[in-house]
Structure 1
Amino acid sequence: MTFSIVARCPGTGALGVAVSTAVPAVGAMCIYVRAGVGAVSTQSWVNPYLALDALALLEQGADAESALAQALGGDPAADLRQIGMIGSRGHGAAWTGAQCTSVAGQRTGATYSVQGNMLVGAATLDAMQAAFEATPDLTLEERLMQALEAGQAAGGDMRGQQSAALKVMRDDAYAWVDLRVDEHENPVAELRRVFELARHQVAPFVESMPTRDDPGRAPSDAVTRMLLTSPPARPGATRRAHVTADERIDALARWIGIEFADDRIAHNLSVYGTILAEIDKLRTLDLSDRHPAIVFDIARLYRTMERP
Structure 2
Amino acid sequence: MTFSLVARCVETGMFGVAISSSSPAVAARCSYARAGVGAVASQNVTDPTLGPMALDSMEAGKSAQQAISEIQQRGKFIEYRQVLAVDMMGRTAIHSGPNSLGIWTQANAENVASGGNMLANDDVPQAIVDTFLASSGHLGDRLLTAMRAGLAAGGEAGPVHSAGMKLVDKVSWPVADLRCDWTEDCPIEAVAMAWEVYKPQLEAYVQRALDPREAPSYGVPGDE
Match of 2:47 in 1: 47
Match of 2:109 in 1: 109
After superposition, the Cα gap between the structure-2 partners of 1:196 and 1:216, relative to the gap in structure 1 and judged at 3 Å, is closer
Match of 1:70 in 2: 70
Q: What is the letter of the counterpart of residue 27 of structure 2?
A: G
CA distances 1:103-133 after superposition (whole Å, capped 9, x unpaired)? 1011111101111010001222122111101
SS at match of 1:176: strand
Report if the CA contact (8 A) 1:210-1:217 is conserved.
no
User: RMSD of aligned C-alpha atoms?
Assistant: 1.7
Q: How many residues align?
A: 222
Offset of 1:48 from its aligned partner? 1.4
Offset of 1:216 from its aligned partner? 5.3
Question: Unaligned 5+ residue runs, structure 1?
Answer: 231-308
SS at match of 1:155: coil
Offset of 1:208 from its aligned partner? 2.4
Matched residues in 2 for 1:83 and 1:96: separation? 7
Residues 160-175 of structure 1 aligned to structure 2 (within 5 Å): 160-175=159-174
SS at match of 1:47: coil
Q: What is the letter of the counterpart of residue 140 of structure 2?
A: E
Matched residues in 2 for 1:95 and 1:161: separation? 23
Match of 2:221 in 1: 228
Offset of 1:4 from its aligned partner? 0.3
After superposition, the Cα gap between the structure-2 partners of 1:8 and 1:144, relative to the gap in structure 1 and judged at 3 Å, is same
Match of 1:154 in 2: 153
Offset of 1:76 from its aligned partner? 3.5
Q: What is the letter of the counterpart of residue 49 of structure 1?
A: T
Report if the CA contact (8 A) 2:106-2:126 is conserved.
no
Matched residues in 2 for 1:138 and 1:217: separation? 30
Q: What is the letter of the counterpart of residue 220 of structure 2?
A: L
Matched residues in 2 for 1:101 and 1:196: separation? 33
Matched residues in 2 for 1:34 and 1:116: separation? 22
Larger radius of gyration: 1
Report if the CA contact (8 A) 1:50-1:72 is conserved.
no
After superposition, the Cα gap between the structure-2 partners of 1:147 and 1:217, relative to the gap in structure 1 and judged at 3 Å, is farther
Matched residues in 1 for 2:74 and 2:17: separation? 24
Q: What is the letter of the counterpart of residue 227 of structure 1?
A: V
Offset of 1:52 from its aligned partner? 1.2
Matched residues in 1 for 2:150 and 2:220: separation? 34
Residues 155-304 of structure 1 aligned to structure 2 (within 5 Å): 155-185=154-184, 186-200=186-200, 202-211=201-210, 215=211, 217-220=213-216, 223-224=217-218, 226-228=219-221
Report if the CA contact (8 A) 1:210-1:218 is conserved.
no
**TM-score with structure 1 setting the length:** 0.69
Match of 2:80 in 1: 80
Match of 1:141 in 2: 140
Matched residues in 1 for 2:51 and 2:167: separation? 16
- Percent identity for Structure 1 against Structure 2: 32
Offset of 1:194 from its aligned partner? 1.3
After superposition, the Cα gap between the structure-2 partners of 1:229 and 1:79, relative to the gap in structure 1 and judged at 3 Å, is farther
SS at match of 1:157: coil
Which protein, 1 or 2, shows the higher relative CO under an 8 Å CA cutoff with sep ≥ 6?
Answer: 2
